[in-house]
Amino acid sequence: MIIKAYAKVNLYLSVLSKKDNGFHEIISLMHNISIYDILEVEESDETVFSSNVNLPWDSSNTLFKTMDVFEKLTGIKQKLRIKLEKHIPSPSGFGGGSADAAALLWYLCQKYKISDIAEMAKLIGSDVPFFVEGGCAIVEGIGEKIHKLDPLDLEIDLYIPKIGFSTKRMYELVDKMGLCGKQGDPYELYDGIKNADRKKVSSNLYNTFQVLTAQIHPEIISQAKEKLTGKEFILMTGSGSAFFGFDLYKTKGDVHFVARPRLILD
Provide the pLDDT for residue 265: 64
The answer, yes or no, to whether residue 266 has pLDDT greater than 60, is no
Sign of CA dihedral 229, 171, 262, 57: positive
**Mean pLDDT throughout 95-117?**
95
Report the catalytic residues.
8, 127
Domain ranges of the chain: 1-266
**Mean pLDDT throughout 204-208?**
98
107-121, 179-193, 248-262, range with the lowest pLDDT:
248-262
The answer, yes or no, to whether residue 250 has pLDDT greater than 80, is no
Provide the pLDDT for residue 207: 98
**Which residue, 212, 210, 190, 211, is CA-closest to 201?**
190
CATH level 3 topology of 1-266: Ribosomal Protein S5; domain 2 (3.30.230)
Read out DSSP for 158-223? EE--SS---HHHHHHHHHHTT--S--S-HHHHHHHHHTT-HHHHHHH-EEHHHHHHHHH-HHHHHH
**Mean pLDDT throughout 71-89?**
95
Would the pTM count as exceeding 0.75? yes
The answer, yes or no, to whether residue 42 has pLDDT greater than 80, is yes
Provide the pLDDT for residue 259: 86
